[in-house]
Amino acid sequence: MIRLQKFLSESGVTSRRQGEKLIVSGKITVDGQVVRLLGTKVDPAKNQVAINGKLIRAKAKRFLALNKPPKILCTRHDTHKRPTVFDLLPHNFGHLFTVGRLDSDSEGLILLTNDGEFCQTVSHPRNGMPKTYHVTLAKRVDSGELERLKDGLNDDGDLLKAKHAKLLHANNTRSQVELVLKEGKNREIRRMFKVLGYRVLCLRRIAVGPVKLGELPIGKWRVLSQPEITSCLRLADK
């Protein structure tokens, strides 16, 4: 027996928190009866759970790492018919959702799952899951300005801050910097460097917590190992 909101999360239909809202609003039934009590427990093998009358069936949990190419969206559907990360997956993986996002111009590691609780735990800003990026800039970077990234920059009242920043290599026309962020605000890295007067040529995420992009080819995916999944949850809990 498991709590109803946990069953909803593990079935991949919603996060646990959103599941609680659906229960309280009377949109969930168990064996045909509306249930509003958050402490309700169900046996997935015996009870029939439905949302707005549609039966929910427990799905096997999936956890994937994908190397997102640039110009690919991290959304399920796009009104302009642009390609999305789901176009890179088998059709029967359509029930997955992304754990956080990368903007269209960025590339690199994106995680996908059908486990709502895992998604919520890893992606929620309060848990501070570190994410590592390699950023190529259009001119030589001043090392002193990397310190400003760690101190924090103000952009229209929003504090943008890197946990770590170091120069990987540079010449007179290019620089490559490694950044680690813990919050992941909208287009945060691009905004940081715009404040400093640098143009970003390439933005590539190479790690989410303990999960590394490694040698995964661009546009390809792999299944996360159990140690990677466990490490992500432990790191988020800290």
The C-alpha atoms of residue 56 and residue 116 are separated, in whole angstroms, by 14
Whole-Å CA distances, 9 to 4, 77, 115, 197: 9, 22, 6, 43
pLDDT for 211 beyond 70: yes
Confidence of residue 94 (pLDDT cuts 50, 70, 90): low
Q: What is the pLDDT of residue 39?
A: 87
Contacts of 64 by beta carbon, 8 Å cutoff, 6+ apart: 89, 93, 96, 111, 112, 113, 221, 222, 223, 224
Domain 2-55, architecture per CATH = Roll (3.10)
Mean pLDDT of 22-40: 94
Tokens standing for 130? 């570190």
In the annotation, is 103 catalytic?
Answer: yes
Mean pLDDT of 137-149: 91
Return residue ranges of the chain for CATH 3.30.70.1560: 130-208
Longest distance between any two alpha carbons in the chain, whole Å: 69
Question: Active site residue: 103, 142, 151, 237, which one?
Answer: 103
Contacts of 51 by beta carbon, 8 Å cutoff, 6+ apart: 8, 13, 22, 27, 28
Rg (CA), the chain: 20
The C-alpha atoms of residue 194 and residue 196 are separated, in whole angstroms, by 5
pTM given for the model? 0.79
Q: Which of 83-97, 102-116, 160-174 has the lowest mean pLDDT?
A: 83-97
The listed range with the strongest mean pLDDT (110-119, 184-193, 205-214) is: 205-214
Q: What is the pLDDT of residue 7?
A: 87
Question: pLDDT tens for residues 165-195?
Answer: 999 999 999 999 999 999 878 899 999 999 9
Confidence of residue 115 (pLDDT cuts 50, 70, 90): confident
Q: 63-126+211-237: what CATH class? A: alpha beta
Please name the helix (run of DSSP H) or strand (run of DSSP E) that holds residue 34, with its range, or none: strand 33-34
Return residue ranges of the chain for CATH 3.10.290.10: 2-55
Which residue stretches of 65-187 are H helix? 116-123, 143-151
What is 130-208's CATH number?
3.30.70.1560
Return residue ranges of the chain for CATH 3.30.70.580: 63-126+211-237
